[in-house]
C-alpha cells in the first residue's frame, strides 16, 4: 500500500452525511435568497492564471496559493478567491452589459495555511457581488442582504459589524507617513495593540489626525461609538465618513435588528483593496468572522474596466460547523425499508419508485431474507420494513 | 452566562498573572492549589482559567476556545496569528538578542552566517530587515552550545541578565527586540463580549498602575 493512500491532505476532509447535508442546506438557503433578490449565478473555473490574482491588496499572498503550470509553462493557481475571477469576467465577457450587474457564486476556494493550526485549506463559500453602482442605496442593499444571509443561517445570535476603510486612509495620508511606517501603524491598529499605536502616534504630538488614529482601535461597539467619535472627528477630513457610516447604521436599525448591528471604526484590513464601507459577520461560538465583505471600487480598473463594486462572501463550512456542534454525525435513516422477495425483485423496485415519488424516503433492502432485513432496519433506525403488499406490522399497505 | 475563559502561559507568567488577579481582589484559591486540574475557576467573577504552554495559548485564542490569553511577546513574534494584542502587562520583561563569541566580529567577511536558535522566524525576520541571507539551525536545548562547538556563528535567543552568555565566553552583539507579557484577545470575543472583556482589562490596568506606583 502507498504511503498516503489512506489519508487526505492536511487542511482537507471528507464531509459525511449530516456535515454534507448541513453544508448543502446552508448553501441552498443562501443561493435561494440571492436568487430571490435578483442575483444571477456564475461559476468560474477551478484553475486560473496566477496573473488574475496578482492584484495589489489581494487577501491571499502568492506564497499561499496552490500553483501548477499549464502545458506551455504558464503559472496557474487553484482558485484562491471568487471575487477576482468575477472582476475578470465583468471586464471581459460581461463588458457592456446593462448595469448594475448582480452576480452570486457558490464554490470552494483553496489556499495553503500554515500547518497544524486547525485551519482548512478548502473553504466552501457563497457570496454576491453588486457591480456598477456606487451609492448609499447600493451599500444598504448589500448590507441588508448580508444581515438576511446571517439570519438565514438559522442561529439567533449573530452580529453584523460595519466600518469604513476611509478613516485610516484619510488620516494616515494627512500624516505623510512613509510606506513602511504606514504599514506598521496599520498592522498595530488592526491587532488593537493600544500601547504600541500610542507610542508611534505620540511622535506627532498634538496633531489632530494622530489623536484620532490613536483612538481608532478603541472605537467599536454600538451607537455610543458615534457619540464618542463625533467630538474627536468633527472638523477633520474624516467627518463626512463618520456621518455616512452613521447614516448606514441608522438605516439598518430600521430593519428592527437592534444590537445585532454594530460598528468598528478600527477595521483596517486590506486598506489598498477596499475603498469604502467594510463589514464582518459573526456567529456566537465561532472564533473567526463567518461573513466578510466591503466596497472595492478600484478592483475592476485593474482589469481594464472602470466600475464600482461591493460584495461579500459567507464561509459555509464554518457556519455548518458552528450550527452542528455537539450534534452526532450519523447517516440519517430512511422512513421505510423495502424487502425484495427472491424472484419478485422488480415488484419491490416498482413499489420503491412509487413511494419515493410520493415523497417518502425509502431504501431497498439488499438482504435475501426477511429476518436479516429486519435486523438491518433495527440497527439503522428505520422504523418500518415492508414488502410490496405487506408491511412489518402485518397490515396491508394501500 | 458563559464564563470568560482565560489561557495563561504556564510558569512565571502564570505566577505573575495570578498575583495581579489577587491584587484585583479575585479569589485565586484554585489557581494556587491547582493539583492536576486543567480548567480552574475563579468563583464569583465569571472567569475560568486554563494553563497551557506558550504557543498553545495562541492556538486556543486564535480558534476562539479561550477568549483572552496571557503570553510573552517572544511567542507572539515567533508564531504570529490573528488576534487582538491589547495590553502590555510590563512583567516578564527581557529581550531577544543576537549573541556571538566574545571579541569576534560577527559581520566580518562575505561567508554566509549560521544562526542557532529556538526562534527561526524571529531570526529570519531580524536578518531580513538587514537584507542578509542566513542559514538557520533549529536547536531545542541550550543554544549557547552551538557557537562554542563551531556549528553556528551566532545565536538569537532570549536574554535576561546575560550571565549564561558571559559564563560561556559569549556576548550580546545586538538587541533584536524587547519582550514582555501581553494580553491577547480573540477577535470575535472582543466584539461579542465587549463590556465584560473591557471591564476585565480595565481592572487589570488599574491593578497594574497601583502596583507600579507602589514600587
CATH number of the domain enclosing A307: 3.30.930.10
Q: Does B121 touch chain A (CB under 8 A)?
A: no
Chain A residues whose beta carbon lies within 8 Å of the beta carbon of residue B64: 285-288
Residues B43 and B84 in one domain: yes
A296, A324, A352 - which closes a domain? A324
Distance of CA B152 to the CA centre of its chain: 25
N-terminal to C-terminal alpha carbon distance within chain A:
53
Residues A163 and A61 in one domain: yes
| Number of compact structural domains in chain A | 2
Q: Does B87 touch chain A (CB under 8 A)?
A: yes
Range B193-208 average pLDDT: 94
* Residues lower than pLDDT 50 in chain A: 326, 392-398
Residues A70 and A204 in one domain: yes
Residues B52 and B30 in one domain: yes
Check A118 against B63: CB less than 8 A apart.
yes
Measure Cα distances from A356 to A74, A335, A350, B114 in Å.
Answer: 50, 11, 10, 70
Residues A374 and A305 in one domain: no
H/E stretch holding A335 = none
Residues A265 and A355 in one domain: no
Q: How far away is chain A from the Cα of B119, in angstroms, using its nearest Cα?
A: 16
Check B192 against A284: CB less than 8 A apart.
yes
Check B191 against A282: CB less than 8 A apart.
yes
Rounded to a whole number, what is the largest CA-CA distance in chain B? 63
* pTM across the whole model: 0.81
Q: What ipTM does this complex have? A: 0.76
Q: How far away is chain A from the Cα of B190, in angstroms, using its nearest Cα?
A: 10
Inside any domain, residue A352: yes
Residues B152 and B74 in one domain: no
Picking from B62, B87, B194, the nearest residue to A287 by CB comes out as B62
CATH number of the domain enclosing B25: 3.40.190.10
Q: How far apart, in whole angstroms, are the C-alpha atoms of residue A344 and residue B148?
A: 85
Residues B66 and B115 in one domain: no
Could you list the residue range(s) of the whole structural domain that residue A387 is in?
A: 336-391
Residues A309 and A266 in one domain: yes
Q: How far away is chain B from the Cα of A257, in angstroms, using its nearest Cα?
A: 15
Q: What is the pLDDT of residue A395?
A: 35
pLDDT tens column, A322-380: 887 645 556 678 899 999 998 888 999 999 999 989 988 899 999 999 999 999 999 88
Q: Are residues A216 and A208 in contact, defined by beta-carbon separation less than 8 angstroms?
A: no
Q: What is the pLDDT of residue A398?
A: 30
A301, A324, A347 - which closes a domain? A324
Check A262 against B88: CB less than 8 A apart.
no
In chain B, DSSP finds a helix count (H) and a strand count (E) of 9, 11
Q: What is the pLDDT of residue A327?
A: 55
Inside any domain, residue A330: no
Could you list the residue range(s) of the whole structural domain that residue B130 is in?
A: 94-179
Residues A69 and A186 in one domain: yes
Q: What is the pLDDT of residue B119?
A: 95
Q: Nearest residue of B to residue A116 by CA position?
A: B59
| Number of compact structural domains in chain B | 2
Q: Which residue has the cell 466584539?
A: B191
Residues A121 and A250 in one domain: yes
Check A192 against B190: CB less than 8 A apart.
yes
In chain A, DSSP finds a helix count (H) and a strand count (E) of 12, 16
| pLDDT > 80? residue B209 | yes
Strand A362-364 relative to strand A336-338, pairing: parallel
Range B35-50 average pLDDT: 89
Q: What is the pLDDT of residue A393?
A: 46
Question: Binning pLDDT at 50, 70 and 90, where does residue B145 land?
Answer: very high
The three-class DSSP label of residue A344 is coil
Residues A158 and A191 in one domain: yes
The 3-class secondary structure across A37-103, one letter per residue, is CCCEECCCCCEEEHHHHCCCCCCCCHHHCCEEECCCCCEEEECCCCHHHHHHHHHCCCCCCCCCEEE
Amino acid at each position: 500500500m502507498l504511503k498516503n493512500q489512506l489519508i487526505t491532505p492536511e487542511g482537507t476532509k471528507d464531509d459525511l452525511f449530516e456535515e454534507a447535508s448541513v453544508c448543502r442546506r446552508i448553501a441552498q438557503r443562501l443561493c435561494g435568497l440571492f436568487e430571490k433578490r435578483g442575483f444571477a449565478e456564475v461559476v468560474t473555473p477551478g484553475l486560473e492564471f496566477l496573473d488574475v490574482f496578482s492584484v495589489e491588496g489581494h487577501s491571499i499572498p502568492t506564497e499561499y496559493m496552490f500553483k501548477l503550470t499549464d502545458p506551455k509553462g504558464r503559472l496557474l493557481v487553484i482558485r484562491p478567491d471568487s471575487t477576482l475571477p468575477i472582476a475578470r469576467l465583468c471586464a471581459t465577457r460581461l463588458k457592456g452589459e446593462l448595469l448594475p450587474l448582480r452576480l452570486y457564486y457558490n464554490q470552494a476556494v483553496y489556499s495553503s495555511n500554515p500547518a497544524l493550526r486547525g485551519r482548512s485549506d478548502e473553504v466552501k463559500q457563497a457570496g454576491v457581488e453588486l457591480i456598477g453602482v456606487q451609492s448609499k442605496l447600493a451599500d444598504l442593499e448589500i448590507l441588508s442582504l448580508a444581515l438576511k444571509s446571517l439570519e438565514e443561517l438559522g442561529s439567533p445570535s449573530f452580529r453584523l459589524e460595519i466600518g469604513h476603510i476611509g478613516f485610516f486612509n484619510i488620516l494616515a495620508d494627512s500624516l505623510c507617513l512613509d510606506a513602511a511606517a504606514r504599514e506598521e501603524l496599520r498592522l498595530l491598529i488592526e491587532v488593537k495593540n493600544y500601547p504600541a499605536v500610542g507610542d508611534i502616534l505620540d511622535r506627532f504630538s498634538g496633531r489632530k489626525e494622530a489623536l484620532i488614529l490613536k483612538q481608532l482601535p478603541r472605537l467599536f461597539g454600538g451607537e455610543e461609538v458615534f457619540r464618542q467619535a463625533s467630538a474627536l472627528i468633527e472638523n477633520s477630513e474624516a467627518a463626512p465618513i463618520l456621518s455616512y457610516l452613521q447614516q448606514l447604521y441608522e438605516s439598518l436599525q430600521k430593519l428592527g435588528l437592534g444590537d445585532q448591528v454594530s460598528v468598528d471604526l478600527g477595521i483596517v484590513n486590506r486598506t489598498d483593496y477596499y475603498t469604502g464601507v467594510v463589514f464582518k459577520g459573526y456567529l456566537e461560538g465561532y472564533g473567526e468572522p463567518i461573513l466578510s465583505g466591503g466596497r472595492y471600487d478600484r478592483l475592476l480598473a485593474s482589469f481594464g474596466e472602470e466600475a464600482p463594486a461591493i460584495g461579500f462572501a459567507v464561509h459555509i463550512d464554518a457556519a455548518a460547523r458552528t450550527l452542528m456542534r455537539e450534534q452526532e454525525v450519523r447517516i440519517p435513516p430512511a422512513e421505510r425499508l423495502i424487502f425484495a422477495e427472491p424472484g419478485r425483485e422488480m415488484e419491490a423496485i416498482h413499489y420503491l419508485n412509487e413511494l419515493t415519488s410520493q415523497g417518502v424516503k425509502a431504501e431497498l433492502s439488499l438482504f435475501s431474507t426477511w429476518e436479516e432485513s429486519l435486523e438491518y432496519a433495527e440497527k439503522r433506525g428505520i422504523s418500518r420494513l415492508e414488502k410490496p403488499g405487506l408491511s412489518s406490522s402485518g397490515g396491508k399497505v394501500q | 452566562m458563559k464564563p470568560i475563559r482565560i489561557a495563561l502561559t504556564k510558569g512565571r507568567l502564570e505566577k505573575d498573572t495570578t498575583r495581579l488577579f489577587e491584587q484585583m481582589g479575585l479569589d485565586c484559591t484554585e489557581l494556587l492549589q491547582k493539583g492536576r486540574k486543567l480548567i480552574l475557576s475563579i468563583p464569583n467573577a465569571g472567569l475560568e482559567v486554563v494553563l497551557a504552554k506558550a504557543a498553545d495559548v495562541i492556538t486556543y485564542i486564535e480558534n476562539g476556545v479561550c477568549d483572552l490569553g496571557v503570553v510573552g511577546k517572544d511567542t507572539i513574534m515567533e508564531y504570529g496569528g490573528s488576534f487582538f494584542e491589547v495590553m502590555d502587562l510590563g512583567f516578564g520583561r527581557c529581550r531577544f538578542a543576537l549573541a556571538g563569541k566574545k571579541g569576534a566580529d560577527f559581520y566580518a567577511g562575505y561567508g554566509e552566517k549560521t544562526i542557532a536558535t529556538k526562534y527561526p522566524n524571529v531570526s529570519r525576520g531580524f536578518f531580513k530587515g538587514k537584507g542578509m541571507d542566513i542559514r538557520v539551525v533549529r536547536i531545542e536545548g541550550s543554544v549557547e552550545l552551538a557557537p562554542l562547538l563551531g556549528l553556528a556563528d551566532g545565536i538569537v535567543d532570549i536574554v535576561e541578565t546575560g550571565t549564561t552568555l558571559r559564563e560561556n565566553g559569549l556576548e550580546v552583539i545586538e538587541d533584536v527586540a524587547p519582550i514582555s507579557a501581553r494580553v491577547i484577545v480573540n477577535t470575535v470575543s472582543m466584539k461579542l463580549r465587549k463590556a465584560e472583556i473591557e471591564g476585565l482589562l480595565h481592572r487589570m490596568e488599574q491593578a497594574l498602575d497601583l502596583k507600579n506606583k507602589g514600587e
